[in-house]
Structure formats: C-alpha cells, structure tokens
Amino acid sequence: MPDAEGTVPPEVEAKAMMDRARELIRSGHMEDVIPLCDEVYRRFTASRSPALQVQVERERASRATSRARPSAAPGPRTGPPG
C-alpha cells in the first residue's frame, strides 16, 4: 500500500516479496525462490526494523525449504505403489 507520496514502505514490500516466495514454493517453482530470497536478504538484512527482520527470517526459512524440496511439484504416481 503506497503512502501519500506514492512509495511503498519497505516492510510492505518485503512482506509482499516473501508472500510471493511462499506461493512459488507451494506451486513447485523452486528455481524462482532463491533469487527472490537473495533480493530480500540483500535489501533488508541490515535494517533494524523488527518488521523487516521478520521478513529476513522468513527469507531464511524459505531458502531452506526451497533447497529441501525437489525442483518440480510432485505429480500423480504412475508406477506401482511402494
């Protein structure tokens, strides 16, 4: 939500970016998560704002999740159970 001058507060921008990262993880687009997390980390990690630090911590969790999951969303099994 832009302020009176038309700029988006960094807390809102960082949250939107991490919400997008969560969407990417849920949809299986892991290759797009890391660059987004890198940008959040680069832009907001030095901030002392508690709201921004929450988003940086979300960045760390999203990065770990994206590395732990396979690159593509799982599809239906076609082979025998097992």
Tens digit of each residue's pLDDT (9 = 90 or more) over 33-63: 889 989 999 999 899 999 899 988 888 888 8
d(CA 70, CA 31): 10
Task: Tell me if residue 68 falls in helix, strand or coil.
Answer: helix
Q: Is the pLDDT of residue 73 over 90?
A: no
Q: How far apart are the first and last CA of the chain?
A: 49
% of the chain at pLDDT higher than 70:
78
Q: Is the pLDDT of residue 13 over 90?
A: yes
**pLDDT of 79:** 45
Where do the domains of the chain lie?
A: 10-68
Q: DSSP for 31-46?
A: GGHHHHHHHHHHHHTT
